[in-house]
Structure 1
Amino acid sequence: MREEADQFGTIEISKDALFGIQTLRTLQNLSFSGRTLSQYPTYIESLAMVKKAAALANQEAGVFEEQIVNAITQACDSLIKGDHHEQFPIDILHGGGGIGTNMNVNEVIANLSNELFGSLKGSYSPVHPADHVNASQSTSDVCHTAIRLAIMKSFKPLISALDQLFEAIKGKADEFQDVTTIARTCLQDGMRVQLGNTFRGYSQVIKRRLHSLEEAVTKLHSINLGGTVIGSGVGAPNAYRDIVVSKLCEVSGIDLSHRENLYDAAQNIDDLARVSSELRILASCLLKLAKDLRLLSSGPEAGFAEIHLPAVQAGSSFFPGKVNPVIPETLIQCCFQVIGCDHVVQMTLEHGELGLNVFEGAAGANILDAMMMLEKALNTFTEKCIKGTEANRKRCEELANSFIPLVVELKEKIGYTATAQLVKVNGKVEIKNIIQNGGIERDTSNK
């Protein structure tokens, strides 16, 4: 064990730990969710990118010498590569506006840097967590920037999952275009429809939601790095502020810019709230799709039974041979969670107070959670449900020739009022027989 001290006392820490006393304070005081920063590798990598860019900007601004910068950037590169992520044990959700997150990464980078100089962990010499790793920065602009980078990176696999879903549904639309079935309104029988057109509608809403989500994520490219706590930039030299975003562009490979007003950026996180709203709308559309598939595949003998979903596992511990739509139901539950995540994000937006929204970290974490859940659920949904979905052609033909679709065709021949009167006088069975036998033509005299 080693000892570290702060103004609140002395704490023993494992001598092998790369984190220090501030991280341990966060662990002891602010843990509740069971979800650790180590479970968010993209966020850790993004934080390390911010720290590397800040170190490079500090060097050009003359804040500290090249040896210190080289050590910090090497430590950051190690984290960006994926090393040492187990050294981030703090709760992803904690008070203090993200102070625990910032100090955890500061301490890990400082200890990694000092190892390069042959110094012991916890010595914080010659590289100090606050004086060097955090130079010209605040928790506010560091975490604000890093969480947006993490969301941009996490969006890429979600884009891929949505693209694959779109292509799979579009493929089924083409496959089912020659299958005529029945449409329903108010869950009651309606007119004939091509099953392919129903699936084409599903594909288009996925495509539209993807484009809307892309637009929202694009807005996250405007960041407040250099604004320090409330957007004033106090504590950061002008020379640093002028170049730190361009350094981050180089480090991350992402085109970034300053927000138009950095005070606004510190106070208002509506850009995150918009991304979350788009995720919620996407989840609502996916819910509708998954519910439709459950209905269309219901039965198989006493339901709609217009499609067959792939059987992936036993559906019941009670009914032998019963197969349930477990993949759509899994997606539905994922969407419930995404909608719940959005509720948290919208609450963080409205609970921001005065000069700084200290709940931004909770918003970011819930967006990352929503994206991760959707990506996993959609990949499974596409591979194990959509791609193996089949049309029950015999059942679809039967439904397409049921009473209401035939009556709709009759209405087009003789008009709504005449058709309604015929149904009233003759009854459904007789009218169906007459229609199928071709026994009614339009009376042009309107008698």
Structure 2
Amino acid sequence: MRIEHDFLGEIKIPDEIYYGVQTTRALDNFVITGHKLNDDFIKSFGIVKAAAAKANMKTGRMPSKIGHAIVQAAEEIAEGKWHDQFVVDCIQGGAGTSMNMNANEVIANRALEILGEKKGNYNLISPNNHVNMAQSTNDVMPTAMRICAITKAKKLIIALEDMAATFTEKGDAFNHILKMGRTHLQDAVPITLGQEFYAYAEAVKRGIKRIRENSKNMHCVNMGATAVGTGLNAEPEYIQFVVEELSKITGEKIESADNLVDATQNTDQMAEFSSALKVTALALCKIANDIRLMASGPRCGLGELSLPERQPGSSIMPGKINPVIPETVNQVAYQVIGNDMAISLAVENGQFELNVMEPVMAYNLFNSLTILTNVVNTLNYKCVKGIVANEERCREMIEKSVGIVTALLPHIGYEQASSIAKEALKTDTSVKELVIAGGLLTAAQLEIILSPAEMTKPGIAGKQFLI
């Protein structure tokens, strides 16, 4: 055991542990979610601390020997090492001070180890004086959040791009299949199955655009703002150097906020980013619902689609297969909507020069990014790629439908078309049969007017037959 102290007193720490006294206090104070920090978030702390140490060496404040040890320790964290030493709860008071100190202590003790010194020798390398030099939780925390959001957004965008491509491929494969379109859950007019899948691709592409645009806002950080945005204890050169180092490490163009006070106290961009995720989740939820409905049955539902059979659907009903993947998409969407509400309330509840609710923002934002990425990949690879169209079923419903009478309006008029529709429903006779029997149009004319090529594009179907 080693003894560490802060201004509240002393605490015994096991020698093998890299975190220190302040992290230990947080472990006792915040037993809330049972969830530790997200791995990408931990890596982001390592990136921020490495950039800060390099910037402080450039200004001459950080001794080179100490700075290089800190950089090595921070880079190890950014590479995925020592994550088991980040033990604080995701939701905590203090605006993330415990997260920042967890990083400072782990890096300080690992840096001491690199120099051949014992952990806890903070006279040589201090978590506060050295690792946290020219920093505050109030600029480290939001910067790490932004770096993490950029990293996770990239993964989500890749997943969405892959799924948009799959929907487009299915659109190509299904574009010859005429099916019944529906509005108000009632028969409307025909559409091709391909047109529906092309529409899904476009909805996904809009999500990509929203997320990409909001990800750009995450590139503007407040490093060097320190406590309230005034830059107290940070060299002016450091503010420039630290964003340069962040850019080099991340490969992204990281910039310093024009107004560091604003960037420290206001978190509206987090709400905006979360909103983009929520809207994307809503679009995915709608698509999942469509797929579930079109695949309902298999014999007593719509049955227009067959989904890949992933698992038995019931513990009591043999042979039942459920649409478990689209159902999962729905549930993820609901969670993202809830996360967005939590973020919205947290953003609203900032006061004066700082929003202390950033831990809950980070927790919910990263959760949304992670589960959206996972469920998009799941929907794409475990469902959409394996969807099969039931062409015969689509054809059967078109032939039985009264909705196709809409295409006949320019030829026989609304009143006559209404009469045909009513009679078709009453007698369970097809529209085609009634139109031919009434001498309104010939079979040959109907074949052209009601063809997929005529009914699923702008214009009047069978325009050549108009009198």
Q: Any gaps of 5 or more consecutive residues in structure 1?
A: 443-447
Equivalent residues of 2:402, 2:430 under 8 A apart: no
CA distance in 2, matches of 1:139, 1:366: 19
CA distance in 2, matches of 1:425, 1:372: 54
Q: Residue 265 of structure 1 aligns with which residue?
A: 263
Q: Residue 138 of structure 1 aligns with which residue?
A: 136
CA distance in 1, matches of 2:242, 2:277: 31
* Residue 241 (structure 1) shift: 2.2
Equivalent residue in structure 2 for 1:349, among 347, 350, 353: 347
CA RMSD of aligned residues (A): 1.6
Q: Residue 9 of structure 1 aligns with which residue?
A: 9
Residue type of the alignment partner of 2:300: A
Equivalent residues of 2:46, 2:78 under 8 A apart: yes
Q: Residue 53 of structure 2 aligns with which residue?
A: 55
Q: Residue 44 of structure 1 aligns with which residue?
A: 42
How has the CA–CA distance of structure 1 residues 221 and 169 changed in structure 2, closer, same or farther, with 3 Å as cutoff?
Answer: same
Q: Any gaps of 5 or more consecutive residues in structure 2?
A: 443-467
Equivalent residues of 1:307, 1:390 under 8 A apart: yes
Equivalent residue in structure 2 for 1:230, among 225, 228, 231: 228
Residue type of the alignment partner of 2:60: G
**1:373-384 superposed matches below 5 A:** 373-384=371-382
Between 16-25 and 371-380, report the one with greater CA deviation: 371-380
Equivalent residues of 1:48, 1:76 under 8 A apart: yes
User: Secondary structure in 1 aligned to 2:313?
Assistant: coil
How has the CA–CA distance of structure 1 residues 164 and 119 changed in structure 2, closer, same or farther, with 3 Å as cutoff?
Answer: same
Equivalent residue in structure 2 for 1:93, among 91, 94, 117: 91
Q: Residue 339 of structure 1 aligns with which residue?
A: 337
How has the CA–CA distance of structure 1 residues 199 and 438 changed in structure 2, closer, same or farther, with 3 Å as cutoff?
Answer: farther
CA distance in 1, matches of 2:67, 2:206: 45
Between 405-414 and 221-230, report the one with greater CA deviation: 405-414
TM-score (norm 2): 0.91
Q: Residue 445 of structure 1 aligns with which residue?
A: none
Equivalent residues of 2:159, 2:373 under 8 A apart: yes
TM-score (norm 1): 0.95
Q: Deviations over 1:119-177 (max 9, x none)?
A: 21122231000011001100010111111001101111111110111111111111111
**Residue 391 (structure 2) pairs with residue 387 (structure 1):** no
CA distance in 2, matches of 1:2, 1:191: 77
* Residue 12 (structure 1) shift: 1.8
Q: Residue 429 of structure 1 aligns with which residue?
A: 428
CA distance in 2, matches of 1:354, 1:405: 60
Q: Residue 440 of structure 2 aligns with which residue?
A: 440
**1:212-291 superposed matches below 5 A:** 212-291=210-289
CA distance in 1, matches of 2:199, 2:287: 10
Q: Residue 416 of structure 2 aligns with which residue?
A: 418
Q: Residue 76 of structure 2 aligns with which residue?
A: 78
How has the CA–CA distance of structure 1 residues 396 and 431 changed in structure 2, closer, same or farther, with 3 Å as cutoff?
Answer: closer
CA distance in 2, matches of 1:64, 1:389: 59
Equivalent residues of 1:119, 1:125 under 8 A apart: no
Residue type of the alignment partner of 2:33: S
Q: Residue 196 of structure 1 aligns with which residue?
A: 194
* Residue 42 (structure 1) shift: 1.3
Between 246-255 and 80-89, report the one with greater CA deviation: 246-255
Q: Deviations over 1:344-402 (max 9, x none)?
A: 11111101111101112221221111111011111111111001101111110011112
CA distance in 1, matches of 2:68, 2:421: 86
Equivalent residues of 2:423, 2:429 under 8 A apart: no
User: Secondary structure in 1 aligned to 2:24?
Assistant: helix
Equivalent residues of 2:70, 2:107 under 8 A apart: yes
Equivalent residue in structure 1 for 2:361, among 343, 360, 363: 363
Q: Residue 31 of structure 1 aligns with which residue?
A: 31
* Residue 425 (structure 1) shift: 6.7
Q: Residue 21 of structure 2 aligns with which residue?
A: 21
